[in-house]
Every structure is written in C-alpha cells, then in structure tokens.
Amino acid sequence: MKYVLFDVDGTLIDAVSNQRRVWGTWAERYGLDADEVYRVALRTRPMETFAQVAADRDPRECLAVLHELEDEDVRSGVYAAFDGASELLHSLPSGAWALVTSNYEHRVRGRFLRTDLPVPDVIVDAAAVEEGKPSPMPYLQAAARLGAEPGDCLVIEDAPSGVRSGLRAGMTVWGVNAAAAVEGVHRHFGSLREAAPHILACMSSPQ
C-alpha cells in the first residue's frame, strides 16, 4: 500500500467517555434520559437522533447546543490518543496519509494539538462531503486529494459504518480497537498498538 487513511474517534483518539458526557449534558438540557439518548446517538447521526428523542424540538437549535458542548469538550475535556498513535503517525511519510472523520476539522485539530498527534495535509471532515460514512464518498475524496488510486489505500477503522465506507470505496480495510472483528475487514487487530508495525510494514513493502 502507498497510502493510509485513518478514522479518528475510536481509532486514533479515545473519545468514548467524551461522547457519552457530551450527549449526557445535552440530554439534561432537554430533560431527557441520558442513557436512552446516548443509545440512539451511537447508531444515528445527530439530526436523526433529535428526530427520535426530541421530535418536538427545533432540530437546528438541538444541533447548535450539541456543537457548543462538543467545542467546549475540545477545550476542556479529558481524553487521550490510543497507545501507539503518536509514534505511528510520526513515522509515516508526509503526504502519504490522511484523516477521514465524521467530526469537524477544527475539533480534530484541537484534539490532536492536545494529544501530541501530528496533523496531515489532508483532512476530510463532516463538512467536506454531502454523504458521510457508510457512503464511500469520504474515503474516495481523501484518496483524490492525495492523488491516490483507491486500490493503493489502506483504511484503518473501528466502526461498522466506517468499515463499510472503506470497502465500498474499493480499499483494503483493517479493523482496530475492538474485541471482535467488524464484518468485512481484511485484517483485525485488538488494538492500534498491535496494528502499528503491520501498517508501517505494509506502507514500506514493494507493490
């Protein structure tokens, strides 16, 4: 492989507790059950979550409140990069890797700054594409911006929607940070640390 494309939350940054806390605070604002809201939020996009748990509320207001809480979390929340992430990213050649995230670029940059992770030239975020994961568009856009063919790209993911996105883009997909392999992955690793030497070896091997 010549290029590697990383998901961010759950793959490079451990943000599960942050997401739960943000959604919990959001739920409290609207007098809703935090556990139920988080359960829905895990499997839907925010606007779909609002439609299910707060159908009587203005979804634009709901989204504005969520964004406010998420931005505050970037400034003051406690979170960390997964073990091995910093060493891995610092070892990759510039211009040979990208981030593909359902979050927003300014939050990714804020979290990377606080966790000592290098930022690549290419970040495809939620604002960059009309269709997010599991559509192939985010990963295809990242490849295009790198000047890469899909078949030359290795995708590193933790979630089913991201895995489907990479597979639909015609890329090799490896799964990390999960006890069991996500359906469809070409290889599975229990942790990013375990996957790191294989990623570097894959990048350096002749095509």
Active-site positions read 7, 9
CB 19, CB 164: distance < 8 Å: no
Spatial CB neighbours of 188, under 8 Å, sequence gap ≥ 6 = 174, 175, 176, 178, 180, 181, 182
Report strand pairing: 13-14 vs 80-81.
antiparallel
Q: Is 58 exposed, middle or buried (0-12, 13-18, 19+ CB in 10 A)?
A: exposed
Give the Cα separation of 50 and 131 in Å (integer): 19
- Residue 173: burial class (beta carbons within 10 Å; 0-12, 13-18, 19+): buried
185 close to 171: Cβ distance less than 8 angstroms? no
Q: Which residues make Cβ contacts (< 8 Å) with residue 93, sequence separation at least 6?
A: 203
Phi, psi values for residue 24, rounded to 5°: -65, -45
